[in-house]
């Protein structure tokens, strides 16, 4: 992930409760308002990598104050497995200013179950109202690193029995099955709001007939869990397998993002 800019706020999720309100005008300026105990904010959730450092910047100004700068609207970073917000900065001016937060993802981060969220607006200990515009997030370290979401080797024997040896950094594979010519893999899904598309790749290992090839799709599909089918092709017949392989066959796969 390089720079993420969504000045329209369309990929951000609204959260309101009590008397809180969230709106965006034709100029893509976000306004949030509420009282202490209310919620009124936009949230952007992103899949992140262990050790990666992010910078979030936005222009903002107060429209009204809670009466205490420590409880006015602000920008926040939420890492759900932590018991509280991991970074915050309150809006402290009625004039437009640039605000910034920097956060480094913990080294024991678990990508299958943990994500990071940027929040703009009124959280439960905040009050008043504020405007925000031109949100921008960038990964300032580890941008070029490719992460493995799930990986493993699957062996299919001549009787059609299937055995998985998972090699994922975490338990990223939820299910697997074989019905010729498809080897179906189910992995942990990624919320569509993150804007990240995991890409599966697959290779035949040496433990397979020389004439066998495998083909992976261009992306993972599915809802909460992601799915993709690896198809096995036999060059000697010019067709996909219609039954069990002629010899024990092992496929290595990865899902990268």
DSSP labels, 51-63 = T-EEEEEEEEEEE
Model confidence at 183, pLDDT cuts 50, 70, 90, reads very high
How many of the other CB atoms lie within 10 Å of CB of 88?
Answer: 15
Model confidence at 144, pLDDT cuts 50, 70, 90, reads very low
**pLDDT > 60? residue 143:** no
| Sign of the dihedral through C-alpha 27, 4, 255, 213 | positive
Q: How far is CA 72 from CA 20, 78, 136, 170, in A?
A: 13, 17, 21, 39
The answer regarding whether domain 3-139 maps to CATH 2.60.120.260 reads: yes
CA angle 227, 236, 228 (to 5 degrees): 5
Residue 71 sits at φ, ψ, to 5 deg, of -125, 15
Give residue limits of the domains in the chain: 3-139, 148-256
Query: Given this model, what pLDDT does residue 194 score?
Result: 54
DSSP reduced 3-state for 85: coil
Q: How far is CA 208 from CA 160, 215, 234, 247, in A?
A: 14, 14, 11, 7
Query: Given this model, what pLDDT does residue 32 score?
Result: 97
| 0.75 surpassed by pTM | no
What string of DSSP letters covers 1-41?
--EEE-TT-TTSEEEEETT-EEEE-TT--EEEEE-TT-EEE
**pLDDT > 70? residue 105:** yes
């Amino acid at each position: 992930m390089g720079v993420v800019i969504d000045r329209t706020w369309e990929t951000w999720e609204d959260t309101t409760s009590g008397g809180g309100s969230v709106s965006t005008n034709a100029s893509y300026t976000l306004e949030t308002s509420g009282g202490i105990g209310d919620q009124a904010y936009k949230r952007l959730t992103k899949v992140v990598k262990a050790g990666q450092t992010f910078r979030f910047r936005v222009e903002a100004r107060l429209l009204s104050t809670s009466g205490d700068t420590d409880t006015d609207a602000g920008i926040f970073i939420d890492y759900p497995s932590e018991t509280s917000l991991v970074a915050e900065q309150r809006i402290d001016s009625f004039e437009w200013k640039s605000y910034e937060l920097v956060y480094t993802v913990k080294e024991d981060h678990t990508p299958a179950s943990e994500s990071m969220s940027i929040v703009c607006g009124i959280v439960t200990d905040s009050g008043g109202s504020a405007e925000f515009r031109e949100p921008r997030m960038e990964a300032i370290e580890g941008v070029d690193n490719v992460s493995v979401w799930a990986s493993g080797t699957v062996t299919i024997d001549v009787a059609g029995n299937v055995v998985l040896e998972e090699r994922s950094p975490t338990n990223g594979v939820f299910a697997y099955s074989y019905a010729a010519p498809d080897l179906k893999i189910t992995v942990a899904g990624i919320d569509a709001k993150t804007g990240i598309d995991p890409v599966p790749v697959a290779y035949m290992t040496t433990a397979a007939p020389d004439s066998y090839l495998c083909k992976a799709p261009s992306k993972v599909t599915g809802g909460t869990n992601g799915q993709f089918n690896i198809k096995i092709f036999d060059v000697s017949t010019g067709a996909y397998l219609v039954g069990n392989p002629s010899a024990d066959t092992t496929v290595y796969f990865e899902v990268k993002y």
